[in-house]
Structures are given as structure tokens and as C-alpha cells.
Structure 1
Amino acid sequence: MHNPEKPPVPPHLVLLIGILAVSMASIFIRFAQREAPSLLIAAYRLTLATLFILPVALTRYRHELARLTRRDVLWMTLSGVFLAVHFVAWITSLEYTTVASSVVLVSLSPVFVAIAAPVFLRESITPRVLLGIVIALAGSVIVGLSDACSWPPLRCTLEGGGRLPVVGNLLALIGAIMVAGYFMIGRRVRGRFSLPVYITFVYGSAALVCLLIVAGSGISLLGYHPQTYLWMTLVAIFPQLIGHSSFNWALRYLPTAVVTVTTLGEPIGSTILAYAILKEVPTWIKLLGGGLILTGIAIVSQERGE
């Protein structure tokens, strides 16, 4: 059920802004990766996003922060751990595979949520959801093989174009699984808190995890070109704060299924930007696989009311 209250601006316009914002993520990350390690980009993305939202939570939601229980903090911290691993895996995947493959594969998270739902959320899988899962997974196999194999004849190799596309695709899939865990925890916890309080704890704990990984890896936080810091700041502002906040805002006025299916425009937007800016041209078989993945996700999301 969506809120009948009249929105101050058209929700679909806000969704469009959100899609454009998150579609920029892979492009900004690619530019930052020219100098900065992927672990550092993930750490800066989450740390800056937390610092931007923290003053709002501390000044406007102090009464809510005072009511937090240890159980609440543990759940949100666990959610942040999943989110941290998601960003580390997905951002690193962009070093090895194409933007199109990475963003399409990481968008499989609703499918993994559907697979895990019977165990963790006690939700059954309907025949329609099962069909969507099979279609999406078939598409992911096609995308994975398209980066490692040529046809005809069928010749497969781990390396391609100076990269390791199979490794990149696997990292993107790990990112999808991790963000599925993040969503499932959010489903249990998010409704009890306002958005600023929830994302402050989740982003903050995710940032802490990434910073610890960066420290353990011996990666320096300083000493990079100012333009690199600009790209990392843009990643925090546009995809993280504007993009995700737009989707959460739209949920107040539109059915959840509409918002979720609309966000499938991110892989399309990212692929178009990668073609225009990075000159990455997707092959016809990759487009076929990506189309199957998006179709499967749409079926799963609409059936489950994601």
C-alpha cells in the first residue's frame, strides 16, 4: 500500500533522478581506480556518506538514538558488514570485468533474496518466482561465458582483454549475495527506525569495516591526486546519498514493486554511460544475457512485491 498523501514533486521524476545518480557509480569508480585501490574507494564512499548524514541523525533524531537497544545495534552492525563486503567485492569487480557485466550481475540481489527467503524469512517460492530465478540465473551464466568464451567455435579462457573477466563476474555475484543479506536484515529492522538513524548506523558500521580492511592491507588514506578524491566524493554524494535516498523517498508514495522494478534501469543507464564515456561496447550475447537477468529480476520483484 502506498501513501495517498500528495507528494510535493512527482515521484517518478525523483525515481528518474535516482536512477541517473546510481548509474554514475561505475563511471566515477572507474576514474578513481586510475590511482586509488578499490578498497580505498569503498572506504571513502561509505565514510563520506556517513559523515554527511551523521549531523542530521545527531541533531534531529536524538530521542530515537536514545531508545536503541543492544539487539538493534547488533542487527544494524551486521547489516553494515554485509554492505561493506558488497561494496568491496563489487567495486573490485570493475577492475576485472566490463561495467555492463558487473552492474547486471550485481543486480541479481532480488533473486538471491527470493532463494534465501524460505529459510530466513519463512516465505514460500511460488512457481512464478521460480521461473524468474531460472531465467535470471540463465542470463548470468550467459553473461559470465560471454566474457570468457568465443562462439563459434566454443573456446573459453580465463583471461580476456588484459583482464580476468571471470574473476570480475564472480566478485559481482558475491556483491549481489552480500547486498541480498543487507536487504533481508533491513526488512526486519528498517521499519522500526527513521531513515537517517538506520543508514547512519549501517553506513557507519560498513565504513568502519572497510577502514579496518584498508588499514590491514597497508593502503594509505592520503597522498592521492585531488581529482581522485573528487571522484570518490562524487561516488559518495551521487550514487550513495542522492541515488539511494531517492528510492527510499519514493517508497512513501509508490508501491514497493514499482520502485524496485524501476531501479532495474541502473544497469541500462550504466551500460549506456560506459559506452559513451569509456567506449565499452557490449556484445550481442552479453545484451541477451543481461536482458534475461533483468527479465528474471522483474518477474521475481513483481511477484514478491519487493
Structure 2
Amino acid sequence: MRNWQDSDRGKPTEGQYNQPVRPSNLTIALILTAGVLAISFGSVLVRLATTAAGFESPGLSLVISALRLTAASLLLLPAWQALRGARLEAGAWIYAVLAGVLLAVHFATWITSISFTSIAVSTTLVNTNPLWVALLAWLWLGQRPSALTLAGIAVAFAGGVVIALGGSSNPGSNPALGNLLALLGALAASCYFLLGREAQRRGFGIGLYAAVAYSTAAVVLLLLPPLFQTPFSGYPPAFYLWVVLMALIPQLIGHTSFNWAVKWINPVIVTLVILLEPIGASLLAFALFGELPGAQVLAGAGVMLAGVVLAVLGNRS
């Protein structure tokens, strides 16, 4: 895999990108802002969908994940036309498909976690991506983290322990399991972003890449609900409305915005921006459900986010 620092300087090599000119910082900032606003609705829409269904279970969480990605894939069908003129380098398809598989793992674990723990805890833990990206860069790319980055990782994990031991006005039926699933979702998402970046570096445009990755994730997820004997049909119309809104807002707008941005700037910076999601999600959860995070959860979240900031500052290059 190529070193991501090359593209951070805005000087892609000849033939490396479909787009020869790096977008302006303002354009990148605006798209990242739209992405954060969009993904903030993700957890709330999941909660609304499960409420409309009338029950919560791992099987239903997988149904929601599968239908969300399926709807997004169908909306992206016109993007497949770009395949005719695409000039893809070796391995581009492998990275795009693997990214889709990791996206499926991300949704299967994270959306299921919301059935067992609170929205505040789930969204905080699932957004520890900068830590995992820094670690993966060390293990995968051989880029050793600085001492400040390692200190940030330690602080963030301490915050995660505080969160895991904390609670909220609606802590969930099995907080320990929910917290673990959310962390697994974070690791899968980190791999998904890095793989997607490489797929785009090897010739995929953002539309075609999103179509391939989301379709792959949909196929994987569609196989899982039958294992839990959970049907895809028979739910109230409101359930399907919330799922379609998930596909439109947090998926097509949110995820696609970050997938686009990760091609042009350091992935650690992109995942740092995603950390704003818990703030928006928690505010929406309070407004719609009256769900207040407990003091211990807030303290742990503060410690974790401080650790993430230290980790990113140590990885400024």
C-alpha cells in the first residue's frame, strides 16, 4: 500500500488519481461538515426503526443493516455506468470488495450494539477510529506512532474503561456486550476506510467505489438475518421509512462524504472529524428520547476524546 502522506501534500503522481487537482481545503471542510451532520442521525434512526418494529434483537439489527445497505446500493445503480471508462490499477477491485466486507462487519456489530447499550456509549466507542487507524498504520504500513500518539492511545483506552463501567438513564440490557460490539465496529470501520482509500488511489471514482463497497456489504448482510430466523418483511411502514432515511442520510451523504475526503487528506484527520458524531447523536437522543448520559459516561467520554486528540497531535505528519 502507498504511504498516505504522499497525497496529503496534494501532489499525486501521474495516473495515480482520476482527479488530477486536489480540492480546496474549504471544499473538503464543507463536505466533512455535511458528513458529520448526516451520520449524527444514524443512531437515532436505528432506535426509531427498532421502536417501530416493536422489539429489539440481534436478528432485527442485522435486518436493519442489510436493508440500509441494500437501499443505498439500489440508489447507486446509475453509478455503475462509470465502470465503462474506469482505468483501474491492479488490486483495485480487491480493495473495494474487502472494504465492503469490512463495512458489513462494522454495521453488523455497531447496530447490534445499540440493542444492548446506550446511544451515547455506543457512538463514543464506535468512533475511536483514530486510535485504530494509527495502530493499523504501525502494523500495516510500518509507520511507528510517536510517544505522544502512544500516550493518547493509553489515555483513550482508560476513558473507554470508565465508559464501560458507567451508565446512563437508559444503559441498555447488556452494556458489556454492547460496548464490545461497538469497539469491534470501530476496528472494522477503520479497516474499511483504509481499504477504501487504497481502492480510490488505484482508480476508483467515489461513485463507483461506493456502489461496489455498499453492494458488497449488502450481499454479506443479507445472508445473516436468516441465521437468526428473523424475516425481512412484515414490519410496519414506519420501519421501512426509517431504514430508507438511513440509506439516504447517514449512508449516502455521511459515509460517502468521508470516503471521498479520505482520498485527499490523512485518514486520521478524517476519523478525528467523525468524533463529532457522538455530540450530535447524544443531542438528538436527548431531544427525541430523553436519554441522558450519566456523569461517569460523560467523564469517560471526555477522557477518551482527550486521548484521541493527543494521538492525532502525535501523528500530525
TM range (shorter): 0.7 to 0.9
8 Å Cα contact 1:260-1:301 kept in structure 2: no
Letter in 2 for 1:227: A
- In the alignment, which residue of structure 2 is the partner of 1:169? 179
Is 1:40 the counterpart of 2:50? The answer is: no
**1:185 deviation in Å?**
2.2
Q: Alpha carbons of 1:146 and 1:300: their partners in 2 closer, same or farther (altered >3 Å)?
A: same
Is 1:20 the counterpart of 2:31? The answer is: no
Q: Alpha carbons of 1:108 and 1:59: their partners in 2 closer, same or farther (altered >3 Å)?
A: same
**Correspondence list, 1:227-238, <5 A:** 227-238=238-249
> Which of 273, 294, 298 is the aligned partner of 2:305?
294
- TM-score normalised by L of structure 2: 0.83
- Counterparts of 1:189 and 1:6, CA distance in 2: 22
- Counterparts of 1:32 and 1:38, CA distance in 2: 9
> Which of 64, 78, 96 is the aligned partner of 2:86?
64
- In the alignment, which residue of structure 2 is the partner of 1:106? 126
Q: Alpha carbons of 1:276 and 1:83: their partners in 2 closer, same or farther (altered >3 Å)?
A: same
8 Å Cα contact 2:66-2:218 kept in structure 1: yes
Q: Alpha carbons of 1:147 and 1:238: their partners in 2 closer, same or farther (altered >3 Å)?
A: same
**1:161 deviation in Å?**
5.6
Q: Alpha carbons of 1:281 and 1:16: their partners in 2 closer, same or farther (altered >3 Å)?
A: same
- TM-score normalised by L of structure 1: 0.85
SS at match of 1:276: helix
> Could you report, residue by residue, the CA deviation over 1:73-129 in whole angstroms, capped at 9, with x for unpaired residues?
333222222111110110011011110000000011221222232222211121011
Q: Alpha carbons of 1:190 and 1:273: their partners in 2 closer, same or farther (altered >3 Å)?
A: same
**1:250 deviation in Å?**
5.1
> Could you report, residue by residue, the CA deviation over 1:41-72 in whole angstroms, capped at 9, with x for unpaired residues?
1001111111111212x22342217x575x43
Is 1:277 the counterpart of 2:288? The answer is: yes
**Correspondence list, 1:80-99, <5 A:** 80-99=100-119
- Counterparts of 2:316 and 2:215, CA distance in 1: 29
Q: Alpha carbons of 1:119 and 1:18: their partners in 2 closer, same or farther (altered >3 Å)?
A: closer
> Could you report, residue by residue, the CA deviation over 1:132-163 in whole angstroms, capped at 9, with x for unpaired residues?
10111111100001139xxxxxxxxxxx8661
SS at match of 2:92: helix
Tell me how many residue pairs correspond in the alignment.
Answer: 291
Q: Please provide the CA RMSD for this pair.
A: 2.6
Is 1:225 the counterpart of 2:225? The answer is: no
Unaligned runs of 5+ in 1: 149-159
SS at match of 1:33: helix
- Counterparts of 1:16 and 1:259, CA distance in 2: 11
**Correspondence list, 1:132-211, <5 A:** 132-147=152-167, 163-192=173-202, 193-211=204-222
- Counterparts of 1:289 and 1:255, CA distance in 2: 27
- Counterparts of 1:203 and 1:123, CA distance in 2: 29
8 Å Cα contact 2:286-2:292 kept in structure 1: yes
Letter in 2 for 1:177: L
Give the percent of matched residue pairs that are identical in Structure 1 and Structure 2.
38
- Counterparts of 1:62 and 1:281, CA distance in 2: 51
- In the alignment, which residue of structure 1 is the partner of 2:251? 240
8 Å Cα contact 2:103-2:188 kept in structure 1: yes
